């Protein structure tokens, strides 16, 4: 690697467009939102930046605090579910022969490339009142009823007089399933990256020395793959926390998350200062999570993942 001083012109030509774009079309917009978060609405369209902290104070009022708290626990729960599902899969993939390995890996990450909106929409079709799940349930109900009828219990209506569709959409359950459905591949990728690089002779040594599979997993495998676990948690937790599409389409009125509140402030309520404050709270949480990650994982690990 050479010093930029040796070829300042080449350096400048390569660096300028990217730096310009990053500065003007990314950092400046963020700075604007940050400034707006200290502003006040003076009329329907005007905002005066008065460096008030009132917007942040308002975000901590019980009604919003409740939504923030709900967003955090829903995201944390969805992240935990993702981890529980993704770890065995990543583990399996990294022990497969090469050809199967690429195939299964592709199968797991392919949905990640498909539009999030379309994936969410696909879930609606599965879960809605006359969706596929309820269709199967109704079919099972009919079979159950005819079996009961055949054994002479038909008149007791043990399964209810008619089929009642199970409400699966527009509640926290749908929201949770949606989050796991959409963000699962984000968890598999970093886990796979670390498990793949794990020196398997450590596992052999542990098993040879008499540790059980269970013990080997918790005392050797898991600690050694911790950087991947932490990366995965962050890659899932942050987008979950900021998601607005999934709660908007799958969650009901009481399954709202911060993302929905931010969107409402910018679109319908037209209260940009408050929306900005909320979105910067989200940014602070993100920075905190990233700082924690660099604390957990060493520099070398971070670059690899």
Distance of CA 213 to the CA centre of its chain: 30
Window contacting another protein (CB under 8 A); options: 65-73, 143-151, 223-231, 273-281? 273-281
- Which span (65-73, 141-149, 154-162, 283-291) binds another protein, by CB under 8 A? 283-291
- Among residue numbers 124 through 183, which ones bind another protein (CB under 8 A)? 124-126, 128, 130-132, 135, 181
Please identify which residue in 62, 98, 160, 210 interacts with another protein, judged by CB under 8 A. Answer: 98
DSSP code at position 40: E
Which is closer to another protein, CB of 148 or CB of 245? Answer: 245
Question: Which span (61-69, 100-108, 147-155, 223-231) binds another protein, by CB under 8 A?
Answer: 100-108
CA 303 to the chain's CA centroid: 21
Q: Cα–chain-centroid distance for residue 47?
A: 33
Q: Choose between 38 and 280: whose C-beta lies nearer to another protein.
A: 280
Question: Among 56, 64, 173, 266, which residue sits at the site for another protein (rule: CB under 8 A)?
Answer: 266
Residue 84 buriedness (CB in 10 A; 0-12 / 13-18 / 19+): exposed
Contact by Cβ (8 Å): 246, 179: yes
Please say whether the beta carbons of 251 and 292 come within 8 A. no
> Token pair for residue 23?
């500065």
- Part in contact with another protein (CB under 8 A); list of ranges 51-59, 61-69, 115-123, 150-158: 115-123
Number of residues that bind another protein (CB under 8 A): 90
Contact set for another protein, span 8-67 (CB under 8 A): 10-11, 13-15, 17-19, 21-22, 25-30, 32-33, 36
Question: Phi/psi zone of residue 252: left (φ > 0), alpha (ψ -120 to 50 degrees), beta?
Answer: beta
Structure tokens at 253: 């009125």
Q: Rounded distance, CA 239 to CA 291, Å?
A: 16
Binding mask 218-247 for another protein (x = CB under 8 A): --------------------xx-xxxxx--
Contact assessment for residue 74 and residue 179, using Cβ atoms and an 8 Å cutoff: yes
CB of 278 to another protein, least distance (A): 9
């Amino acid at each position: 690697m050479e010093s930029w001083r040796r070829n300042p012109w080449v350096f400048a030509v390569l660096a300028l467009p990217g730096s310009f774009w990053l500065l003007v079309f990314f950092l400046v917009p963020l700075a604007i939102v940050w400034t707006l978060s200290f502003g006040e609405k003076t009329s329907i369209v005007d905002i005066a930046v008065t460096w008030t902290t009132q917007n942040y104070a308002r975000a901590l009022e019980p009604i919003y605090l409740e939504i923030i708290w709900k967003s955090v626990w829903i995201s944390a729960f969805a992240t935990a579910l993702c981890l529980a599902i993704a770890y065995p899969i990543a583990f399996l993939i990294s022990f497969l022969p090469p050809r199967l390995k690429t195939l299964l890996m592709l199968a797991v990450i392919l949905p990640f490339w498909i539009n999030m909106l379309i994936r969410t929409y696909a879930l609606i079709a599965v879960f809605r009142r006359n969706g596929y799940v309820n269709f199967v349930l109704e079919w099972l109900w009919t079979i159950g009823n005819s079996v009961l009828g055949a054994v002479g219990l038909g008149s007791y209506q043990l399964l209810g007089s008619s089929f009642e569709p199970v409400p699966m959409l527009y509640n926290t359950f749908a929201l949770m399933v949606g989050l796991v459905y959409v963000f699962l591949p984000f968890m598999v990728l970093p886990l796979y990256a670390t498990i793949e690089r794990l020196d398997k002779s450590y596992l052999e040594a542990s098993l040879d020395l008499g540790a059980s599979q269970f013990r080997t997993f918790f005392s050797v495998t898991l600690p050694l793959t911790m950087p991947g676990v932490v990366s995965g948690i962050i890659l899932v937790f942050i987008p979950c926390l900021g998601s607005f599409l999934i709660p908007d389409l799958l969650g009901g009125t009481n399954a709202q998350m911060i993302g929905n509140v931010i969107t409402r402030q910018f679109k319908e309520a037209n209260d940009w200062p408050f929306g900005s404050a909320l979105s910067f709270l989200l940014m602070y949480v993100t920075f905190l999570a990233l700082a924690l990650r660099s604390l957990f994982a060493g520099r070398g690990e971070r670059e690899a993942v």
